[in-house]
Amino acid sequence: MDRRTMLSLGAATAALAMTGEAAASPGPRGPSDAALARSLGGDFRSAHAEVNGTRLHYVIGGSGAPLVLLPGWPQTWWEFHKIMPALARRHTVIAVDLRGMGGSAKPAGGYDKKTMATDIHELIRKLGHQRADVAGHDIGAMVAQSLAAFFPATVRKLALLDVAHPDEDLYQLTLIPRPGQPFFPWWFAFNQAQGLPEQLIAGRSRVLIDHFCDMLLVNRAAINDRDRAIYAHAYATPEAVRAGNGWYQGFTQDIVDEKSHGKLAMPVLGLGAGPNYWFLADHLPRKATDVRVVEIKDSGHYVAEEQPAAVTAELERFFG
């Protein structure tokens, strides 16, 4: 190989490395959590608390009995922004970034749902409440159900949006979709990979956000460009991707922990869209004694953003 060829290859390698570095950059920061909280109106504010050996971010506002909202992947507390102002008329609304999410710390471990539930239990107590109503979506629903199981005195009523806590049924998921199946949860397996997702997604998280919004929404405009940019920024760094994947890597321990749950005694509401409604209607009566399951129509997975009026009405009716 002559010197000119070696120089050309060296320049190409350097250019490729620079391209990779540029692609991995998280990009410009979007609006702060404090600014987003203020945009909701009322007295909403952004705050942090040290609990259970980690630091949680939350947004709080309103007055009345406490209502804790727990979001899912790949989103943040912002997924509830359409329903928080209405709920705050009768409740002190506390929307929390879970361990590893958004403005919360991203420790090396603790992503099993029992540990994450302990985070929320301690946050509720730290904010001066003995009991709270709790609603969770997606990963947040898993944490909410774990909270109700392990700290039943802390949860007055429980609402699960489109998802329930992992159990052994997860082992029945397949990697190949059946003919005509609109989608299959390939990310459950992908997020188990150690180290790879961080390299592929960091700095490219908007591609991931758009994929899930376009796949799991009936009305793709329900999560608009600004919302998608907020979520993309929240998952832009390797640490954020690693932490979010930790929620999925904790499923094996979650399945073990679920065996000790027992039936929940507090009232439980399930809100499901499409096939997830039928899943919750079949699943929840086996997990709780006082269950009501409602279908959220004309919606995909992100029910609080796609049908906020219907979700707000059902939560207000349930929590009282």
Task: Lay out the sheet containing 291-295: strands in order across.
Answer: 45-51, 54-62, 91-97, 65-70, 132-137, 155-161, 268-272, 291-295
The amino acid at 94: I
Answer whether 111's CB lies under 8 Å from 249's CB: yes
Answer whether 44's CB lies under 8 Å from 60's CB: yes
Tell me 152's DSSP state: G
Give the pair of three-digit tokens for residue 182.
Answer: 């609109």
Query: Is there a catalytic annotation at residue 138?
Result: yes
Through-space distance between the first and last CA atoms of the chain, rounded to whole angstroms: 78
Convert 228-258 to b/e letters by CB count within 10 Å (16 or more is b): bbbbbbbbbbbebbbbbbbbbbbbeebbebb
Query: Is there a catalytic annotation at residue 301?
Result: yes
**Burial of 217 per CB tally in 10 Å (0-12, 13-18, 19+):** middle
Catalytic residue among 138, 227, 254, 257: 138
Q: What is Dmax (Cα atoms) for the chain?
A: 79
Catalytic residue among 248, 254, 257, 283: 248
DSSP 214-226: HHH-SSGGGS-HH
What residues act catalytically? 138, 248, 301
